[in-house]
Amino acid sequence: MSVRIEGLTAGYGRSAVLRGLDLVVAEGELLVVVGPSGCGKSTLLRVVAGLLPGTAGRVLVDGVPVRGTSRDRALVFQDDGLLPWRDALRNVELPLALRGVPRAERRVRARGWLDRVGLAGFERHLPRELSGGMRQRVQLARTLAQEPRLVLMDEPFGALDARTRSAMQELVMAVLRETGTTTIFVTHDVDEAVRLGDRVVVLGAGEVDVRREAILAAVMG
Ligand SMILES: Nc1ncnc2c1ncn2[C@@H]1O[C@H](COP(=O)(O)OP(=O)(O)OP(=O)(O)O)[C@@H](O)[C@H]1O
Ligand SMILES: [Mg+2]
């Protein structure tokens, strides 16, 4: 899916967090959005997800204005949001069950994605029996199993140690490129932005070169 944001103003109550933002993401592209805490990264994702309406400007997805949420657009939060009483397999299956995918098929799909994120053998573990990194991978499997066409990631690896984090980055990049899924990836970590992005946008400073120094300079203002 493609995303076109034109003159977007959005915020809470009377205070605008985003003012006149323009942004374009092409089909299949991985755009990284960087910026300091509180600059409006999560707000931007909420608007594109359809959870928060803008007060001015437009957000077009495949040329159509966003009105409310859609199954085509998946938002991945920083905390994993897994149901503690469902094992990994049944967590991944849940959204498929909710949209009526038959039991046998959703089981195959869920197992396939758990395998893909390196969790074969952990299907029957409850979230509390998994490490933080493993729970993040379950969340990722759950998101990808729904085959969204646009993935919005809000600092999904913030809580992970460096090694797990870079393994997850590799995995996500491989899967998203393979499936051609359009992605907006939010982070405040400059190194993560350099590793992941086709393009990098610094909120408030616009598009920058995908080089560490260029991003740092823009983030520092
Ligand atoms: N639900 C809300 N109600 C009122 N103000 C909010 C709400 N959510 C966020 N804000 C305010 O909007 C601004 C931007 O918040 P946002 O969550 O988009 O920042 P962010 O860039 O994602 O920050 P972080 O890197 O810390 O996650 C902040 O000043 C915040 O206080
Ligand atoms: Mg945020």
Secondary structure of 162-173 in the HEC alphabet?
A: HHHHHHHHHHHH
Parse the chain into domains and list their residue ranges: 83-147
- % pLDDT > 70, the chain: 100
Q: Residue 12 Cα, ligand 1 centroid: separation in angstroms? A: 9
Q: Whose C-alpha lies nearest to ligand 1, atom 25?
A: 37
Nearest ligand (C-alpha, residue 12):
1
Residue 191 confidence (pLDDT) above 80: yes
Ligand 1 site residues, Cβ closer than 6 angstroms: 12, 17, 35, 37-43, 188
The reported pTM is: 0.91
Express each pLDDT in 31-47 by its tens digit: 999 988 889 999 999 99
Q: Whose C-alpha lies nearest to ligand 1, atom 9?
A: 43
Residue 177 confidence (pLDDT) above 90: no
CB 159 within 8 A of CB 132: yes
* 52 CA to centre of own chain: 16
User: What residues are neighbours of ligand 2 (ion), with CB under 5 Å?
Assistant: 41-42
Quickly list H helices, 73-205: 88-98, 103-116, 132-145, 162-179, 190-196
Amino acid code (one letter) for 46: R
Nearest ligand (C-alpha, residue 13):
1
DSSP 8-state symbol, 107: H
CB 47 within 8 A of CB 8: yes
Express each pLDDT in 77-126 by its tens digit: 777 789 999 999 999 999 999 989 999 999 999 999 999 888 999 999 99
Residue 219 confidence (pLDDT) above 90: no
Question: What span, in angstroms and rounded, lies between the C-alpha atoms of 166 and 123?
Answer: 23
Q: What is the pLDDT of residue 92?
A: 96
* 135 CA to centre of own chain: 15
Nearest ligand (C-alpha, residue 34):
1
Which ligand 1 atom sits nearest the alpha carbon of residue 78? Answer: 27
The strand pair at 73-76 and 150-154 is best described as parallel
Q: Residue 196 Cα, ligand 2 centroid: separation in angstroms? A: 18
Q: Which two tokens stand for residue 67?
A: 């009105």
Q: Residue 179 Cα, ligand 1 centroid: separation in angstroms? A: 31
Quickly list H helices, 30-102: 41-49, 88-98
CB 3 within 8 A of CB 60: yes
R_g (Cα) of the chain, nearest Å: 17
Please report which helix (H) or strand (E) contains residue 32, including its range. Answer: strand 30-34
108, with CB counted inside 10 A (0-12, 13-18, 19+), is: exposed
For residues 143-148, give the mean pLDDT.
90
